[in-house]
Structure 1
């Protein structure tokens, strides 16, 4: 393969795959941003919960730009990658890629950084377990 033919791919681990349906569209028939952000948060929360070994809460979403539209029936894949770990917080990068039925290569739709805090059963901030603090 020549260097110019190299296609970039997702960074991180696959955390969620889903196919958007007509009920997920806005008034113009496009998949709306709120639905996509919800999927990203779900993917990141799954990874954060695994790393924290318990409950987490989303406390911030840092910068997001939509590069490409999401079409009904395309396969949407959310990839998460650990960026940083604090005493009680986890920062994850989330990338979204789609694969349309008539396309040969996936395309990047958006990315953002999600910040979570570990919480206990009462909803109070708790310290992350040692395994999460020293990945």
Structure 2
């Protein structure tokens, strides 16, 4: 039996009927957009400022997402470079309130780059004093 990770989710969202495709499942693009938002949150915090997505290193759809699912996104920094931050995002759906269960629906790895005020790459700030 799958369980939610034992930590606070980075993002939690309920899809709406407008987010469904012709088959009645949530659009993959909706899920991808929310994975990018969730991944950017720890990247922005670490960079202490603006970041942009430069790569979607991997993205695996494991299960469909339904309009009645409560979707939770868990993002963790897994690597840092001079200007870049790589984040793993795991996505779980809580289903069927009458018979609740959890399903892991997606996992992805994305890389972000810290930007300066002109939009150029900048080094990540030191971890000292945090």
TM, length-normalised to structure 1: 0.86
**1:76-95 correspondence to structure 2 within 5 Å:** 76-95=71-90
What 5-or-longer segments of structure 1 have no aligned partner? Answer: 1-5
> In 1, Cα distance between the equivalents of 2:83 and 2:7?
22
Q: Does 1:19 align with 2:14?
A: yes
Task: Identify if the C-alpha distance between structure 1 residues 90 and 72 changes in structure 2 by more than 3 Å, giving closer, same or farther.
Answer: same
Check whether the contact 1:19–1:74 (CA below 8 A) recurs between aligned residues: yes
Q: Does 1:60 align with 2:67?
A: no
Q: Does 1:119 align with 2:115?
A: yes
SS in 1 for 2:22: coil
- Displacement of 1:9 after TM fit? 4.1
Deviations for 1:12-46, whole angstroms, at most 9, x for unmatched residues?
75110000010001122210100000000001111
What number of residue pairs does the alignment pair up?
Answer: 128
SS in 1 for 2:106: strand
Check whether the contact 1:88–1:117 (CA below 8 A) recurs between aligned residues: yes
| Residue 3 of structure 1: aligned partner | none
CA RMSD of aligned residues (A): 1.9
| Residue 130 of structure 1: aligned partner | 126
What 5-or-longer segments of structure 2 have no aligned partner? Answer: none
TM, length-normalised to structure 2: 0.90
